[in-house]
Amino acid sequence: MRNSIFLTFTFFAALGLGGSSLRAADRPRAWPPDQFLPLTEARIAALPEAEQGVWRKYLETSRQVAKAIPTPTEPEFSPTEPLKAQLTGGRYAKGLKSGGDSKWYATEEARRLAVRVGEWQSPAGGWTKSNDYSISPPPKKTKADIWDAGTFDNNATILEMRFLVRVIAAGTDDKRADSWRATFMRGLQYIFNAQYPNGGFPQIYPLGGGYHDAITFNDNAMPRVLELLRDIAAGNPEFAFVPAEQRAEAARRFARGIDCVLKTQIVEPPGRRTVWCQQHDMLTLKPCAARNFEPIAASTSESVSLVRLLMSLPSPSKEVIDAIDSAAGWFSKVALHEKSWKQHHIEAQAGAGPLWSRYYEIGTDKSIFGDRDRTIHYDVSEISAERKNGYAWFGTWPETTLTEYKNWHAKQVPLAKD
């Protein structure tokens, strides 16, 4: 263990990222204040007058939807962030899947699950994460939290909707199919309601007043929503039951979301585009922080999903092409070579890599690491054992995407010259 710590220390010291000899700019630091601001009437009033109406309507709709669930038992954001909040529940809904053999979706087992998906749907129209679809939901709680209305975190809501589509497409002879279609359409309206006027999506809806209200790329929340809207708008056969009006609306919402993705891409002086933060402010579109160990940063994993989404566009504009090219260039620039992430520490390894940090400091491209006490570190060995062992600080996220990018870019060169 001592040798591991020594190797970690030596590596980061060599990079100027660790040890007592660090320059002041590289020493652990606290978060700056005002990392996240909720959507309020006061903030809306500061917008240009022409924009205020749609934002007031959005906020009022959110409040009306919130009335369908009990008052939260505790606020969504706390500077101390209790540890238990991060350890409860599973990662995905039990019993559901969105891929696999299409024949299975015609079985009675799948259809029973589709019934339960409807039972678990919240009055707001969404689904919370980690529901157990092997059973019917328990009696309604008298005190719930805002998550019970619905979330896009951990593939919630999108997983349920894609599951329903597969069951519906497997055969509509079942008398319950009308109910499944109605459940899906309520979910689609939930998505429409949740989308901000500028095209972004919060992590949960209705708004809870905490960092979950920020435009959320974390855990691919917004990309998954946009992919569903894209598939509905494209008129894919499995979505044939969606009325033409709603398909057209899905197309408009998808386009608005792509515009938001482009506008949130981080731009550094003198106009150099890089990638994206995990969360962005819903009004200013500037990067903002989330959980206590998730500071403002250029986020590698989330940016990979956004690049892949943009590359899926059939006729990319020059702006889209520039955004993708810039992100791919940044991935290549910050990649680590001859290094590996083993047993929660970095070590030199010939031929290893490329490897990427989860977070990079905006403006310097230095790897940074957050802890639950809201401190930011340049040396991963300095953070608590719980966070060091419980988070993906390094990974190979962009590797496959960069390979795909080379093929994609070759096809776009003639378009870029036009």
- The catalytic residues are 154, 291
Q: How far is CA 37 from CA 286, 288, 297, 346, in A?
A: 11, 9, 17, 35
Name every residue whose Cβ is closer than 8 Å to that of residue 319 and which is 6 or more positions away in sequence: 262
Per the rule left: phi > 0, alpha: psi between -120 and 50, beta: everything else, 51 is: alpha
Beta strands 339-342 and 345-348, pairing class = antiparallel
CA 266 from centroid of its chain's CA atoms: 16
Decide: 198 and 282 in contact? Cβ < 8 Å.
yes
Q: What angle do CA 163, 202, 304 make, to 5 degrees?
A: 75
Decide: 279 and 215 in contact? Cβ < 8 Å.
yes
- Distance in angstroms (rounded) separating the CA atoms of residues 383 and 367: 13
